[in-house]
Structure 1
Amino acid sequence: METGANVMERLRTAYGVARSLAIYYGKPWRFKAMARFYGRFLAPGDLAFDIGAHVGNRIRAWRQLKARVVAVEPQPALLPVLRALYGRDPAVELVAAAIAAEPGQVRLNLNPANPTIASASQAFLAAAGSAPSFAGQQWRGVCDVPALTLDALIARFGEPRFIKIDIEGYEEEALKGLSIAPFALSVEFVPMMKEIAQACVARLAAMAPYRFNATYGDGTTFLHPQPLSAEAIAAWIASLGADGPAGDIFACQDPALLTSVAGQM
């Protein structure tokens, strides 16, 4: 028989999943802008990795481009959602795992009411505890989940044209398990953990002649009119306040694709 605490936790989880679906699918017209934006990186038949797929809004946009998708998500509460939405699509592979520097297991800290910010990074949780933008957030549970490397994912599915990594402060660990340079990728940045974003930029710059740009949130407008060098994007990250909106750092081996163009939204 379930205890009252267990029932409350299940309700929090159900609320968190419903909240995520409302946020990411409640404005369906945004998918057109997202598809246009990612269309600079992905063509029909290209392979994309969605690391930290959450409820799959990137999957939907990328499938509009007829790209093939490998979506990786470790949260038990979100996997049934992804299977219901995309499990019958033969061009989408769903992988129930975390991505880390080494294969094995990682301990995932769960925020049932806001599953967007589940994290395997203790440093992320410590930083969030003193950040005003994370006030009231509670990581109420943990679970051990299987971990794969990006190299293992590539060995299994092939080399992707684009990789998106959004795993709440664990992005550097994910990149440690990547030994080949994809054409383009994005990694989340959080101003309260600037050192993680800067380390990701440094690692990518050592792998290939990438140029960089950035967006806020799930935005489809680059913040800089022209692509930046690794040094310039690292300096921009350093200039951010101690707390503020998160976003994505984009890296691409073709600088022309990182320019602000007409039609961005």
Structure 2
Amino acid sequence: MRNWLGLARSLAIYNNPLRTLPLRRFYRSLLSPGDLAFDIGAHVGTRARAMRGAGARVVALEPQEPFASFLRRTLPRDIHLIEAAAGPQETVAEMAVSSLHPTVSSLQPDFAATAGATPGFAHVKWDRRQQVRVTTLDRLIAEHGMPAYVKIDVEGFELDVLAGVSRPLPLVSVEYLPDLPDQTVRVIERLQSLGAYRFNPVQGEAGRFLWSDWRKATDTVAWLRALPPGSRSGDLYARLQSAK
């Protein structure tokens, strides 16, 4: 019962037109018709649908129940759904699940303890475990092609997802949490090891970049570390310099 309450809560929050309409406009500025996009951590499918609305071919990954079952029944048939997580290797792993706050369920073993110690997560309980299948970005690329864009929102497991790719990606976004800046700094370092990237954040669900220019890793890290605790989270976009 708690699982379905968590699903209902997520649908009420993330299927709100105040969120979805700006997101759809934003993705139309990032993606061209026919582009391939990966949605890693599809949740209720809001981002996958917005990518599709921009004309992209979408591969969506979601391992968590009941969300995977919900997506299997409701996603448009031309979105390719994979009921798995992405990580550093192909395996089976254990996810810590919050039934009432399923957006913060994570495969990262330390995430519940680390995030739970911050004010923004004080009300969250990780109350059950789920075994999930894990694939890699390299495997997805081998099967579907190089994506124009990869969205990663996996609650502290972003670095592990990027450990499973051996080549630079043209455009990537990861969730950033102001209370846990080191988590995003490590992601920036990993991306820089793959290629020359510039960065630009989107705060919350604003549907627009915060900066008028794309900035170096050092400037982005300084910005992250200067964010006051309790600031609004968002997505950090990384664009490969050679990418258009």
TM-score range (shorter-chain normalised) is over 0.9
Give the conservation status (yes or no) of the 8 Å contact 1:31–1:60: no
Q: Where does residue 198 of structure 2 map in the other structure?
A: 211
Quote the offset at 1:255 in angstroms: 9.2
Question: Deviations for 1:43-98, whole angstroms, at most 9, x for unmatched residues?
Answer: 11111000000000011111111111000011021011111221x522x1101111
Taking the TM superposition and a 5 Å limit, the aligned residue runs for 1:208-247 are 208-247=195-234
Quote the offset at 1:224 in angstroms: 2.1
Give the conservation status (yes or no) of the 8 Å contact 2:170–2:243: no
Alignment partners' CA distance in 1, 2:72 and 2:211: 37
Give the conservation status (yes or no) of the 8 Å contact 2:24–2:53: yes
Q: Where does residue 39 of structure 1 map in the other structure?
A: 28
Q: Where does residue 20 of structure 1 map in the other structure?
A: 10
1:174 aligns with 2:161: yes
User: Which stretch shows the higher mean deviation, 37-46 or 134-143?
Assistant: 37-46
Give the conservation status (yes or no) of the 8 Å contact 1:227–1:255: no
Give the conservation status (yes or no) of the 8 Å contact 1:41–1:161: no
Q: Where does residue 102 of structure 1 map in the other structure?
A: 89
1:78 aligns with 2:78: no
What's the TM-score, normalizing by structure 1? Answer: 0.87
Alignment partners' CA distance in 2, 1:194 and 1:121: 16
Alignment partners' CA distance in 2, 1:255 and 1:135: 42
Alignment partners' CA distance in 1, 2:164 and 2:242: 25
State how many pairs are aligned. 244
RMSD value over aligned CA atoms?
A: 1.7
SS of residue paired to 1:31: helix
Taking the TM superposition and a 5 Å limit, the aligned residue runs for 1:54-133 are 54-86=43-75, 88-90=76-78, 92-133=79-120
